[in-house]
């Protein structure tokens, strides 16, 4: 029987020589969740993933899956988990089907079961018809899909994804996230690391923030926003877009921060409703035409910056 704490991380510390990559990390990841781990480069995300999958042993602490110590029962754990790394595990000189067979055999699967799972997964990943294509001939997006398919070949209970959308364009990122969300909706627990805060916010039901090897916050995205941010975001796009003139006048309003993003300006304020009329007047006086004006709740980017700076 799987315990309530599906994956439990207790007082995990990991040292590499004198360098402490993780420092007393405690987490509980529930069954069926889509759990995000975010942090700057070097914060300990990949180190933690490698210890959850039992590749690396902690210097101190314990990680358990359904009450089973992952490092004392590694053979059992490996069969329950699938892992897609930043550096793909796919063999470039093998075909798509040969890669699937290789990983299936590695997990001790029967030939007919490998064939059945291959058909199911290639259909799920929108890769039907690519069976005999060499992996090296696949696009970056297709290669990433194949890597995830190989990680799922043995139908694991938990899928770990380390920066799955790294180096993908926005369209491919969105498609891959949608596929991962479907995998999660079908019952697979997913743990994903990412530095793309917008995508983590979109798909994850809970987020852990690592900074300098320490866990500094964990909760549902909306609860983190409520707890750590007192601002709302006003997104403004105008034409001809002479924002420098507008920003000078915006700064006279009760605004905590102003950020230029691509072709728009974002204002951060404690109460958007109180200054919207003045913002509209400033835009009108500046002879700008509004293309888009939206009031949003704070983004995870703002929350992350606030927590890590604090």
Q: What is the mean pLDDT of each run of 10 residues along the chain (310 residues)?
A: 70 96 96 95 94 95 95 92 89 97 96 97 95 96 95 96 90 92 95 90 95 95 85 93 92 91 89 94 95 88 81
In whole angstroms, give the CA distance from residue 130 to residue 121: 12
pLDDT, residue 310, reads: 58
pLDDT, residue 298, reads: 79
Q: What is the pTM of this model?
A: 0.83
The DSSP result for the chain, as a single string, is ---SSSEEEEEEEEEETTEEEEEEEEEEE-TT-EEEEE--TTSSHHHHHHHHTTSS--SEEEEEETTEETTTSHHHHHHHEEEE-SS----TTSBHHHHHHHHHHHTT--HHHHHHHHHHHHHHTT-TT-TTSBGGGS-HHHHHHHHHHHHHTT--SEEEEESTTTT--HHHHHHHHHHHHHHHHTT-EEEEEES-HHHHHHH-SEEEEEETTEEEEEE-HHHHHHHH---EEEEEEEES--HHHHHHHHTTSS-SEEEEETTEEEEEES-GGGTHHHHHHHHHHTT-EEEEEEEEPPPHHHHHHHHHH-
Domain ranges of the chain: 7-219, 231-309
pLDDT, residue 292, reads: 95
pLDDT, residue 62, reads: 96
> Which of 3.50.50.60, 3.40.50.720, 3.40.47.10, 3.40.50.300 is the CATH number of 7-219?
3.40.50.300
pLDDT, residue 261, reads: 81
The CATH code of domain 231-309 reads 3.30.70.260
Residue given tokens 């210097």 in the structure block? 59
pLDDT, residue 3, reads: 46
pLDDT, residue 2, reads: 43
pLDDT, residue 209, reads: 96
pLDDT, residue 297, reads: 81
Distance of CA 53 to the CA centre of its chain: 17
pLDDT, residue 1, reads: 39
């Amino acid at each position: 029987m799987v315990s309530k704490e599906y994956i439990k991380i207790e007082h995990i510390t990991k040292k590499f020589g004198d360098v402490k990559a993780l420092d007393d990390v405690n987490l509980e990841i529930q069954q069926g969740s889509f759990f995000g781990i975010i942090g700057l480069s070097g914060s300990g995300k990949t180190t933690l993933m490698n210890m959850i999958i039992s590749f690396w042993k902690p210097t101190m602490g314990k990680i358990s899956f359904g009450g089973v110590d992952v490092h004392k029962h590694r053979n059992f754990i490996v069969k329950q988990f699938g892992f897609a790394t930043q550096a793909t595990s796919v063999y470039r000189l093998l075909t798509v089907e040969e890669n699937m067979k290789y990983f299936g055999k590695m997990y001790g699967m029967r030939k007919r079961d490998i064939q059945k799972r291959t058909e199911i997964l290639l259909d799920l990943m929108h890769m039907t018809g690519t069976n005999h294509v060499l992996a090296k001939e696949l696009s970056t997006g297709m290669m990433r899909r194949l890597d995830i398919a190989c990680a799922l070949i043995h139908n694991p209970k938990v899928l770990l994804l380390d920066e799955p959308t790294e180096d993908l364009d926005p369209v491919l990122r969105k498609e891959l996230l949608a596929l991962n969300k479907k995998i999660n909706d079908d019952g697979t627990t997913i743990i994903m690391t990412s530095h793309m805060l917008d995508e983590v916010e979109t798909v994850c039901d809970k987020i852990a923030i690592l900074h300098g090897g320490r866990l500094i916050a964990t909760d549902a995205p909306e609860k983190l926003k409520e707890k750590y941010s007192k601002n709302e975001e006003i997104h403004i796009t105008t034409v001809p877009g002479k924002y420098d003139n507008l920003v000078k006048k915006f700064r006279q309003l009760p605004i905590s921060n102003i950020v230029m993003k691509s072709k728009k300006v974002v204002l951060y304020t404690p109460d958007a409703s109180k200054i919207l009329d003045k913002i509209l007047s400033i835009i009108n006086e500046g002879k700008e035409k509004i293309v888009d004006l939206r009031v949003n709740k704070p983004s995870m980017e703002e929350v992350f910056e606030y927590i890590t700076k604090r």
